[in-house]
Amino acid sequence: MRLTQYFLPLLRENPSEAQIVSHRLMLRAGMVRQSSAGIYSWLPLGLRVLNRVGQIVREEQDRAGAQEILMPTIQPAELWRESGRYDDYGKEMLRIRDRHERDMLYGPTNEEQITAIVRDAIRSYRDLPKNLYHIQWKFRDEVRPRFGVMRGREFLMKDNYSFDLDAAAAKHAYNKMFLAYLRTFARMGLKAIPMRADTGPIGGDLSHEFQILAETGESEVFCDRRWLDTDILAADVDYDSDLEPFFRHWTSLYAATDEMHKPENCPVPPEQLVSARGIEVGHIFYFGAKYSKPMGAVVTGPNGDEVPLEMGSYGIGVSRLVGALIEANHDDAGIIWPDSVAPFRLGLINLRPADAKCRAAADDLYAKLRRAGVEVLYDDRDDSPGAKFAAMDLIGLPDQLIIGPRGVAAGTIECKNRRSGARVDLSLDAALTRFTSA
Ligand code: P5A
């Protein structure tokens, strides 16, 4: 993509409304613009990251055996009256009346909707297990939307729902998602610690939040100091094997959110306990028959008796992750994207677009990289070198290739790694090979 053609409205100054670094950088790097409180438009650069995050989430859901669907954002109120949550949910729910005076709502979550779909389609235990997910916008009329996309009112969530015959099978489904979440966040280069958590309005009694430790986190969290030195690897475990030992291993070190942490019962001695702030990027729940029972979602079991479906639900804050990734990956000059979620793999800077030789060399390299399938953002603007360096550092692509008159005369190009700052001069061919052979 040529920068002269790209819609990338960068801001030089820090926007005064942004209190935390990710919000500031998302606005300055032209990723999002606020539409109203807690509601954002995603611009080309931001949408690329959002889609890449969504794609990693999707691949790990598919790997774990969940199947993608797409449910609507607008739901009928009757479904929520069936479960009893219509009144419980309070002012967070955006209620809408259609032209026929029917009560509708903009979904804050989809437990009721999916339970109705599965109830109407599944009759026998032989149809189980099932696990269905979607990536869809939600609306919660939060009292205090803040920190940009971190606590929005409209936000993108991956949510999925598991359906099983009995508690043991449902726990296996929970364990699968537990593993899938560890893998998902690890692939983004994030250390998300699973913590025992409160279940709030979703319900049930088994629940884990996945928390990234960050000063700007909204929740207070507690964990064993040893978590700080633990590498959470993208473990490759067979999803069909017994996952209990795996689950026990990853929950053996203490970690709990504020609501669950009771100092008097904490097994970790005070000197070994870390108290920190966390960003909740995922939350999983096992709630058994909480929705299936009132909504009549039953199957015929092996003995011919009717049993309510055992359910769990599992959420990842896809749009929140974009902010969380920046909180975890930035410096004074701007964002530093991990390769796995970067909006473009490479930035190509032509320092002197007016110089015919520079232009020819840069255009040629750009064409070759594109032909090789490398995603490149090519700064072909007529601007000062300083402005170009600052813009490239701000948007944080993993590597930069810099072409200038001196290099062109010597047949070389400068290659700068955004994270380490390391610079090397390479021949044009070597630069091409470096980024096309991976
Ligand atoms: C699980 C999936 C649920 O809603 N129902 C379906 C369950 N869980 S949750 O914890 O309430 O939300 C799941 C994740 O969504 C993100 N999230 C938000 N992101 C941005 N702005 C918000 N206002 C917001 N609220 C929730 C979080 O990452 C959360 O873990």
Relative to beta strand 399-403, strand 346-350 is parallel
The atom of ligand 1 lying closest to the CA of 285 is 1
Mutate to test the pocket of ligand 1, among 143, 320, 322 (most ligand atoms within 8 A of CB): 320
**C-beta separation of 348 from 371 below 8 A:** no
Q: Residue 21: phi, psi to the nearest 5?
A: -60, -40
pLDDT of residue 230: 86
Helix (H) or strand (E) holding 42: strand 39-42
Residue 54 Cα to ligand 1 midpoint, Å, equals 15
Give CATH for domain 344-436: 3.40.50.800
* 3-state DSSP helix/strand/coil % of the chain, to nearest 5: 35, 30, 35
Q: How far apart (Å, rounded) are the C-alpha atoms in residues 297 and 350?
A: 62
Q: Is 320 in the pocket of ligand 1 (CB under 6 A)?
A: yes
Residue 283 Cα to ligand 1 midpoint, Å, equals 7
Could you check whether 21-335 and 344-436 share the same CATH topology? no
Tens-of-pLDDT digits for all 438 residues of the chain?
A: 999 999 999 999 999 999 999 999 999 999 999 999 999 999 999 999 999 999 999 999 999 999 999 999 999 999 999 999 999 999 999 999 999 999 999 999 999 999 999 999 999 999 999 999 999 999 999 999 999 999 999 999 999 999 999 999 999 999 999 999 999 999 999 999 999 998 888 888 899 999 999 999 999 999 999 999 888 876 788 999 999 999 999 999 999 999 999 999 899 999 999 999 999 999 999 999 999 999 999 999 999 999 999 999 999 999 999 999 999 999 999 999 999 999 999 999 999 999 999 999 999 999 999 999 999 999 999 999 999 999 999 999 999 999 999 999 999 999 999 999 999 999 999 999 999 976
Work out the widest C-alpha separation in the chain, in whole angstroms: 83
Mutate to test the pocket of ligand 1, among 20, 88, 157, 257 (most ligand atoms within 8 A of CB): 157
Residue nearest to atom 8 of ligand 1 (CA): 315
Angle at 262 between CA 324 and CA 168, to 5 degrees: 75
Q: How far apart (Å, rounded) are the C-alpha atoms in residues 136 and 152?
A: 14
- Domain boundary assignment for the chain: 21-335, 344-436
Q: Is 317 in the pocket of ligand 1 (CB under 6 A)?
A: yes
Q: How far apart (Å, rounded) are the C-alpha atoms in residues 302 and 242?
A: 22
Residue 230 Cα to ligand 1 midpoint, Å, equals 26
Residue 18 Cα to ligand 1 midpoint, Å, equals 22
Q: How far apart (Å, rounded) are the C-alpha atoms in residues 204 and 139?
A: 22
pLDDT of residue 205: 82
Q: Is 109 in the pocket of ligand 1 (CB under 6 A)?
A: yes
Helix (H) or strand (E) holding 424: strand 423-427
Beta strands in 114-205 (DSSP E): 130-139, 154-164, 192-196
Instruction: Tell me the two tokens of residue 150.
Output: 């971190």
pLDDT of residue 203: 81
Domain 21-335 has CATH 3.30.930.10: yes
Residue nearest to atom 24 of ligand 1 (CA): 151
Residue 281 Cα to ligand 1 midpoint, Å, equals 8
